[in-house]
Structure formats: structure tokens, C-alpha cells
């Protein structure tokens, strides 16, 4: 079976064609970074307009790369939520309309399920059950995964997501948008130990996250100390270390709570090299395994939507004709396969 996947939840237009036997046949991605850079963040209306311009041409390119056409696919998957409602509506209306025109089933995909299953695109795949840390610009959550559609949210951010805190702190440091990767690069030049920031909510039980206080601590230090480039690098190092330590502490706590020895990290922040190394060392000490997607599948992409859509397509969990989008969509509400 083959499926076309469409991702348009925020500021990346992702298209992919996935075959359940041959794997990924085509993968196209257009990033809107340059569109939003002048504004220091995503402008929803501009994001929607760009998805309108890019989606169909990218679909044509994906078909050419895969060497097939609409008649060769068995379904169309699209991101129906969560995300920016205007951006979601573009991908949903295009995906559902193409499925109708081609007389193919349509599948509405949960964006975070796409991230959660992205490591399944790799040769070494995690077995169920596992604990998943989903960290991106819009979400930070810990999920116990018993199987596809069998999700229990163990904890989530009560305010800023980790990626959002990275981007906001980077902006305070004078870095361009998107700031998270630039902050991580700046942190490489930082002096360890010069500044120390709190590890929020790690001194109390539970698996929820909070990064707004950490961001405020960094902001106050930037205002009082951050006049030169070395000091900014030292602050970036301290901030990144605090975020990574916090995530690692909560992961270890979740693994001990569930008794599971497999950890998945996914989402944009999972591309952070220091985070990966920290969690790899931690899992070695716990005699467990950590899994994550390759870097290009950490950020939003069509491949993860195509893969997640294929699982739902096989289960015949088709979308209706009403083109429903869900900007907020609890992952626990998804049906099991």
C-alpha cells in the first residue's frame, strides 16, 4: 500500500509518499523561516498563504520523485491538528479534496502522533511499550505508549513548551528567528558553571514541566550581565544545560514510574545534540535504549504524517467529508488500532 502525506500545521509544508513495503519513496519540505524571520516568530496568516502556494507544487514534485501518480496510491493523509487553524485548514482542504477527486480514502492525522511515530521511519525501531518525550516549539509532554493509539499522558508543560522557551531566550540574546538552534550553537562557546539556572519542578513529585520561570531567570541575567558576546554564550550554555537537565530528570522519573526501559524522543528539540548525548548516557546507566528520528524528521515533515496515516489507513480509520480540523486535540482521545 502507498499513501500521500501532507503536513501544514505551522510554518513548514511537508509532503511525502510512503510505501508499507518499500518505505519512504519521496520526501519534500519547504520551510517558511525566511517568511517569518522579519517578524521574530510565525505570523499565522502568512503561514496559511504560503501553504496555499506551496502544497500542490510539492505534491507534484513528490510524485515525480517517487515515479508514481495519484492512481498508484491507496490513500491521502493530512495533519488535522493540533496546530494553527488556518494552516491546518489548507492541508486538510487540499488533502480531503484530492482524496475525493481521486476516489481514495482520506486519513486525518494527529500531528503529535506523527512525531511520536517518527522513529519508526528508521531501521532500528522501538518495540512497544515505550515512554516518549515529545519536545517541540508548541508542545512538551511525556507519554506512555502501549501501542499505536494507546497513549497515556504522564506529564506536560503547564506554560511554555521547551522549544518555545529556547526561541524566546534566543530572542533576548539578540539571535535571529528561529532561535533555538542558534542558541544551541552559541552555547558551545559558553563557559560551564559561570551561571546556574533553576531546574523547574524537579524538586517536587510529578512529571509536568514548566519553563516560564527558567526563561525569566535567563531574561533577568541577560539584562544585568549580558553586555558582551562571551557572557551571552555563558548564559546560553547555562540555559540549555538547565533545560536538558530538567528533561532528563523527568525522563528518568517516568521510566522508573512505568518500569519501561525504552525511551523515544521526538519533535524539533530532539535534534539538539546535547540533549541526545545526555539521554544516551542516562539510558546506558539504566541499561535501557533511547530512540529518535534522524534530524530531518525531528522538525515538522510529511514523512511522519505519511507513516502515521498509513497505520490508520490499514485500520480503515477514514476521515469523513466535513474537513474537520482540531487546533487543540488531546492525543489520549485517539482510537487504538
Can you say which residues are annotated as belonging to the binding site?
Answer: 111, 115, 134-138, 167, 180, 272, 300
What residues pair up with 153 in beta bridges, in sequence order?
A: 143
Q: In this structure, which long-range contacts are made by residues 249-253, counting pairs with CB atoms below 8 Å and at least 24 apart in sequence? A: 249/199, 249/202, 250/133, 250/142, 250/155, 250/202, 250/207, 250/209, 251/131, 251/133, 251/142, 251/279, 251/282, 252/282, 252/286, 253/207
Task: List binding-site positions for Fe cation.
Answer: 111, 115, 300
107-131 b/e (C-beta count within 10 Å ≥ 16 → b): bbbbbbbbbbbbbbbeeeebeebbb
3-state secondary structure of 104: coil
Q: Are 218 and 239 in contact (CB under 8 A)?
A: yes
Helix 229-258 × helix 273-285 angle, to 10°: 40
Q: What is the dihedral of CA 293, 186, 32, 67, to 10 degrees?
A: -40
**How far is residue 166's CA from residue 179's CA, in Å, rounded to a whole number?**
7
Q: Are 42 and 84 in contact (CB under 8 A)?
A: yes
Task: List binding-site positions for substrate.
Answer: 134-138, 167, 180, 272
**How far is residue 133's CA from residue 247's CA, in Å, rounded to a whole number?**
8
Who contacts 103 (Cβ-Cβ below 8 Å, separation ≥6)?
A: none
Who contacts 229 (Cβ-Cβ below 8 Å, separation ≥6)?
A: none
Amino acid at each position: 500500500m502507498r499513501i500521500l502525506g501532507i503536513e501544514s500545521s505551522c510554518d513548514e509544508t511537508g509532503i511525502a509518499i510512503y510505501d508499507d513495503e518499500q518505505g519512504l519513496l519521496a520526501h519534500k519540505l519547504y520551510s517558511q523561516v525566511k517568511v517569518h524571520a522579519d517578524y521574530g516568530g510565525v505570523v499565522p496568516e502568512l503561514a496559511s498563504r504560503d501553504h496555499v502556494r506551496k502544497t500542490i507544487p510539492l505534491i507534484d514534485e513528490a510524485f515525480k520523485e517517487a515515479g508514481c501518480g495519484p492512481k498508484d496510491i491507496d490513500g491521502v493523509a493530512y495533519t488535522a491538528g493540533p496546530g494553527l487553524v488556518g494552516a491546518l485548514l489548507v492541508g486538510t482542504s487540499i488533502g480531503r479534496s484530492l482524496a475525493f477527486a481521486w476516489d481514495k480514502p482520506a486519513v486525518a492525522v494527529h500531528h503529535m502522533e506523527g512525531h511520536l511515530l517518527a522513529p519508526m521511519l528508521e531501521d532500528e525501531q522501538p518495540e512497544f511499550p515505550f515512554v516518549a518525550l515529545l519536545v517541540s516549539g508548541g508542545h512538551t509532554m511525556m507519554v506512555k505508549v502501549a501501542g499505536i493509539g494507546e497513549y497515556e499522558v504522564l506529564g506536560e508543560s503547564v506554560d511554555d513548551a521547551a522549544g518555545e522557551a529556547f526561541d524566546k531566550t534566543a530572542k533576548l540574546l539578540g539571535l535571529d528567528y528561529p532561535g533555538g538552534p542558534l542558541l544551541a550553537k552559541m552555547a558551545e562557546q559558553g563557559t560551564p558553571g559561570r551561571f546556574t539556572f533553576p531546574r523547574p519542578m524537579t524538586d517536587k513529585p510529578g512529571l509536568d514541566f514548566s519553563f516560564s520561570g527558567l526563561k525569566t531567570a535567563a531574561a533577568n541575567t541577560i539584562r544585568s550581565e549580558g553586555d558582551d558576546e562571551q557572557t551571552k554564550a555563558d548564559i546560553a550554555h547555562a540555559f540549555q544545560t538547565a533545560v536538558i537537565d530538567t528533561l532528563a530528570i523527568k525522563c528518568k522519573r517516568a521510566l522508573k514510574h512505568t518500569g519501561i526501559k525504552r525511551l523515544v524522543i521526538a519533535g524539533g528539540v530532539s535534534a539538539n545534540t546535547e540533549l541526545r548525548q545526555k539521554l544516551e548516557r542516562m539510558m546506558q546507566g539504566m541499561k535501557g535504549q533511547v530512540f529518535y528520528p534522524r534530524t530531518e524528521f525531528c522538525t515538522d515533515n510529511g514523512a511522519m504524517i505519511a507513516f502515521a496515516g498509513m497505520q490508520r489507513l490499514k485500520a480503515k480509520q477514514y476521515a469523513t467529508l466535513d474537513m474537520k480540523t482540531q487546533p487543540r486535540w488531546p492525543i489520549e482521545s485517539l482510537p487504538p488500532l
